[in-house]
Amino acid sequence: MPEPAVPRLTRLLGIVTQLEEHGEASFDDLARHFGVSREVIKDDIDTLWVSGLPGYGTTDLLDFDGYAYEEGIARLVESLGIRQIRLAPAEAVALMGALGSIVASGVASTAAEGALDALRDAVKGAMAVTVVGASTTDQAAVQALREGIETSRAVVVTYIDARDRRTERVIEPHRLVALDGIGYVECFCRRAGDYRTLRLDRLEGAKETDEPQAAPRRASEGFALEPQYEAEVMIDLAGRWAFEDLPGVELEETPDGVVARFGVANPQVIVARLLAVGPHLKKVGPADLRAQLAEAAEAVLASASIPGKDKA
Amino acid sequence: MPAPDAAERLLNLLIALTHARVRMTRAEIRATVAGYDPIDDRDDPETARKRTVAFERMFERDKEDLRRLGVPLRTVTDATHGDEIGYVIDAGDATMPPITLSAVERAVVAVAADYWQNAALGTDARRALIKITSSAARVEDETVHLAARSTVGVDAAPALAQAIADGQAVRFTYTSATSGKAERTVEPWRLVVRGGPLYLVGLDRDRGEPRTYRLSRIEGAVTAVGDRGAFVAPSGLAGIHLEAAVPTLTARIGLRAESGHAIRRRGRFLRSEGEWDIYDVSYCDTEYLRDEILGLAGAARVVSPETLAEAVVAHARAALEVAHA
């Protein structure tokens, strides 16, 4: 299938702009800069060379130096004044929404805010997207993690887990990650003796140590929030909201109710959601998740039935 | 010469309209811009008609592609030419202003461009990255130990962003928890990202009131309806409650040792009763506090009010019933 027209046109204009701004460039350098192969760049130059004004005589066309071309170098002789086009509304929303979301998650350094400001200046008129923070992070703690990542040192953190228990642990931070607007640190946790992904908004403090990291960083491209198992839950329409924003969820409306299928990375988080929509639940699977749900529900009921309530 | 591909034709159209002295009519575009199929006088009427229909379809698609790319195609009517519509591009309006980013900033923008994964917005974000880096110096990107990803449904976002920019109303099918599935006609004002999900804030025309819609609940295509520039969005987001309201109610909660830190932080410690620490906590949303207590899975209990305690018990019982089914 040929490349769609719109992305290709964007790159064609990009090449002309790049050459106008910074002078001649080898096909290889352009390929690296635009993230495509040398062949694609050569095709692009060939296309640009025969494009121009109606009439399409020799003086109406974009022009390159033929000798340089033979050497694999793009040297622009005539640009006809064409330049890269400003961001379209959907492009601005896509990039600035993503950047804003990364900033709001707390994982980004000041560089992200700097980039966001620079982009905001470049986009004319009112922005069509606003980002509202969904969590608050202790930026001093995140900075300590960032330094731990860059210097390959261990960090001591105070962490509140999903059941709201406070623990102190020594971790070897590897990477900061924003997933659906929430910030995490991927790390090796010495307390657990295993790799863990911790939420940044549950950190109550972090302090760097002098100890070098010992566990190898995992080469995985993916996120460490990998699902342990697949779950399938049926709820009525009123309970649908609780599943809509689960990572990778598939929702299917059936005559009996809405069926949500999703991967379970942290059972405690899923069990909390299931309890929150208790009256709307119809079916829960697999058996593991049912058992965890039953255990949590029984614990809630046991605590609630303690006698000697004092009336406020 | 082989037929030029669509990108090549768009480029030639862009150059021609940017350099047009006043404007170009459709007929002029068809006759002179490379890549379009010009009128051939030797055609019989049926072939000529078919080729004209094909040209019109191609030109409409090209106009739409340029719009999607952010090129403001201005239409100019000229009475001396029998009111036939002509087109022109104002180069000044169309050009990307220079953006200076440091190497680290650029690396972060590249991470952001991958945020939406394969969703509809992903294509737009990657194109935005190409546009922004077009004028940037060719240097190696810095390594940032950072990754970002979104997994929520945002398919409706590009169409809504365009409609907001155009000041054009939209129609879509929306599922709400309270009123089920229905067709909505909305004047879109703004997209809001909060945590993972994207929301649309706009005026619901049927209800005559501002509403907030979650994009993942929009089903199928978003259709633009009516004229462009039909309304002006208010500059603020007045009347839209995305932030939590001011807490006005108070609950008394018992917490087990070393747990319930979120409630502890917000609340006021009263006393310890055996293994329970008793706190007073202000809240505005009963359902939120109820879910928080459920999530603590027995590490918290409601002392008062009774309605909250009952809600917690009712939810746990209902869940237990399903878990044992």
Q: What are the tens digits of pLDDT across the range B258-281?
A: 788 778 878 899 999 988 999 999
Which chain A residue lies closest to B257 (C-alpha atoms)? A165
Of A182, A212, A242, which residue constitutes the final position of a domain?
Answer: A212
HEC assignment per residue over chain B: CCCCCHHHHHHHHHHHHHHCCCCEEHHHHHHHCCCCCCCCCCCCHHHHHHHHHHHHHHHHHHHHHHHHCCCCEEEEECHHHCCCEEEEECHHHHECCCCCCCHHHHHHHHHHHCCCCCCHHHHHHHHHHHHHHCCCCCCCCCCCCEEEECCCCCCCHHHHHHHHHHCCEEEEEEEECCCEEEEEEEEEEEEEEECCCEEEEEEECCCCEEEEEEHHHEEEEEEEECCCCCCCCCCCCCCCCCCCCCCCEEEEEEEECCCCHHHHHHCEEEEEECCEEEEEEEECCHHHHHHHHHHCCCCEEEEECHHHHHHHHHHHHHHHHHHHC
- The interface predicted TM-score (ipTM) is 0.79
Candidate from A91-95, B101-105, B162-166, B284-288 with smallest mean pLDDT: B284-288
Asked if residue A97 is part of any domain, the answer here is no
Tens digit of each residue's pLDDT (9 = 90 or more) over A34-73: 989 999 999 999 999 999 999 998 889 999 999 999 999 9
Asked if residue A34 is part of any domain, the answer here is yes
Q: Note whether A208 and A273 are same-domain residues.
A: no
**Domain, as residue range, for A245:** 229-304
Residues in chain A: 312
Q: Note whether A262 and A195 are same-domain residues.
A: no
Q: What percent of chain B has pLDDT over 90?
A: 44
3-state class (DSSP) for residue A237: helix
Domains of chain B (ranges plus CATH)?
6-94 (no CATH), 157-225 (2.30.30), 249-324 (no CATH)
The residues in B 293-312 lying below 8 A from A, measured between CB atoms, are 293-305, 309, 312
Asked if residue A186 is part of any domain, the answer here is yes
Q: Note whether A249 and A292 are same-domain residues.
A: yes
For residues B284 and B245, give the distance between their C-alpha atoms in angstroms, rounded to a whole number: 7
Q: Do A164 and B148 touch (CB under 8 A)?
A: no
Query: Smallest CA–CA separation between B36 and chain A, in Å?
Result: 11
Which residues of chain A make contact with B304, given a CB cutoff of 8 A? 309-312
A10: domain CATH number? 1.10.10
Query: Smallest CA–CA separation between A161 and chain B, in Å?
Result: 9
Asked if residue A62 is part of any domain, the answer here is yes
Asked if residue A9 is part of any domain, the answer here is yes
Asked if residue A237 is part of any domain, the answer here is yes
Of A55, A78, A101, which residue constitutes the final position of a domain?
Answer: A78
Q: Which helix (H) or strand (E) holds A194?
A: strand A194-199
Asked if residue A103 is part of any domain, the answer here is no
Q: What percent of chain B has pLDDT over 70?
A: 92
Average pLDDT over residues B159-174: 93
Is residue A4 reached through a cis peptide bond, with omega within 30 degrees of 0 on the bond before it? Answer: no
For residues B106 and B136, give the distance between their C-alpha atoms in angstroms, rounded to a whole number: 9
Asked if residue A36 is part of any domain, the answer here is yes
Q: Do A244 and B290 touch (CB under 8 A)?
A: no
Q: Note whether A208 and A146 are same-domain residues.
A: yes
Of A78, A99, A131, which residue constitutes the final position of a domain?
Answer: A78
A169: domain CATH number? 2.30.30
Q: Number of structural domains, chain A?
A: 3
Q: Note whether A183 and A249 are same-domain residues.
A: no
Instruction: With a cut of 90, say whether residue A148 has pLDDT above it.
Output: yes
